[in-house]
Chains A and B, each alone.
Chain A
Amino acid sequence: MNIIGPDYLVFGVDDLAASIEYLTAFGLKPVDVTDKGGLFEALDGSGIIVRHKSDPTLPPPLPTSNMLRQQVYGVRASEDLDAIEAELSKDRRVTRLADGSIETKDDHGFELKFQVTKRRELVMPAEKINAPGAPAQRKPNEIGVWEEMPAAPRMLSHVVLFVPDIEVATNFYCGRLGFVITDVLKGAGPFLRPKANDDHHTLFFIRTPDYMKGCEHLAFHMGGPTELMVAGTRFVKKGYQSFWGPGRHKFGSNWFWYFNSPLGCHFEYDADMDKHDDEWIAREAPMGAEASQIVLFEMREKWAPGGPPPGAKP
């Protein structure tokens, strides 16, 4: 079962105009978006599908007030869809759609769809750094930052779910779909990566009461920590509300910056996440401020020391 990761996350919102404004300002590109909503893409074609909560084309809502309607997973090939269908139809209804994709639910009732991935292969350089002792990554006269530098989300990275039962969730995604646990925050839950993705995590669970079941946050990969901070700074300047960050997580090593949103969950820019293979042995740490980050900053308005020379006219 070569699952790559989430191609799309689907939301049914109460304020569609606000959500459309927000997703665009976040840096995603509207594709065929109308006043009924549509798809907002990262550079690789993964992204967010948003519609009004009354839209009949949406999958049914969770029994909570959470606005997440469906996780759409990309797989490598149609044989992977056959394998998932064979496995999951042992104990639940799996629906085959006309385009070959399949739909079902996980053991907590989250709506799932699997499709041959629609992600486009990205060929772009990572952020380049120069450091003593290592070959320069930027050539002479190649500058690192400039005011209008691009800082667009490249790829949907991960989704974090509030679930009432970590064991049930883990057994489903690992036992039935072949996800692997990379690390565990005790008191919260495990980080998971699917077979066909070497990112530290595309999925993370947080244990919560039943009435909170839903999406806690989702994240998009940026080209590096500088792009993350540039994108976040621009977002704050436009009036959007920072929630946590910028900082760098310990597990996964990814830089993070979380924002509030009108979609009922946080949106995160992330960058420079660890890669893993099957040799990796999962670590454990108790959930808490120390375990969750190596550094944390809070944005402040731009400032510089100095000023006009003493005695100068204002």
Chain B
Amino acid sequence: MASAQLLCRVEDIAEGEARGFGPLDGYRRKIVVLRRNGMLHAWLDACPHYPGGTPMAWKTDAYLNGEKTHLACHSHGALFDMESGECVLGPCLGQQLTRIALAISDEGEIFVAAAQEEKRA
């Protein structure tokens, strides 16, 4: 198994905030890490509306909608549930973001496993 890659520390992601990292080795796109209801979730920065998946922010780390209630694709305004990754409004309604598994060390560092073979959206 390839080595895990460090993203940041747990305290770097505040409640209700999202940040993008990478693209890391083995990934085509950045990884979006967010915290919602205390829990960390990570998604591949690839909107399922178009084949291959396209980047969703409108600016570095600007992944959320104006009300900060959803992860948003700033191509055509698709909204995704932050915790389930499901598109709840917009062109890819019902489709899913690709979840990235995180590992958190005892010291509070957030890692992702190096991609084996990245799933296509």
Q: Which residues of A contact B (CB under 8 A)?
A: 13-16, 18, 22, 65-67, 162, 208, 211-212, 214, 216, 238-243, 259-262, 264-266
**A interface footprint on B58-79 (CB within 8 Å = 1, 0 otherwise):** 1110100111000001111101
A208-B91, A260-B56, A261-B58 known; A15+B65 contact, CB < 8 A: yes
Closest Cβ–Cβ distance, residue B98 to chain A (whole Å): 18
A260 touches B79 (CB 8 A): no
Residue in B59, B65, B77, B91 whose beta carbon sits within 8 Å of that of A239 in the complex: B59
Which residues of chain A are within 8 angstroms of B53 by Cβ–Cβ distance? none
Q: How large is the interface on B (under 10, 10 to 19, 20 to 34, 35 or more residues)?
A: 20 to 34
Q: Which residues of B contact A (CB under 8 A)?
A: 54-60, 62, 65-67, 73-77, 79, 89-91, 93
A260 touches B91 (CB 8 A): no
Which residues of chain B are within 8 angstroms of A242 by Cβ–Cβ distance? 55
B62 touches A262 (CB 8 A): yes
A14 touches B57 (CB 8 A): no
Which residues of chain B are within 8 angstroms of A261 by Cβ–Cβ distance? 58, 74
A162 to B91 Cα, complex, angstroms: 11
A239-B60, A240-B58, A243-B54 known; A14+B75 contact, CB < 8 A: no
Which residues of chain A are within 8 angstroms of B54 by Cβ–Cβ distance? 243
A15-B65, A208-B91 known; A22+B79 contact, CB < 8 A: no
Closest Cβ–Cβ distance, residue B80 to chain A (whole Å): 13
Which residues of chain B are within 8 angstroms of A66 by Cβ–Cβ distance? 76-77
A208-B91, A262-B66 known; A240+B59 contact, CB < 8 A: yes
Closest Cβ–Cβ distance, residue A219 to chain B (whole Å): 15
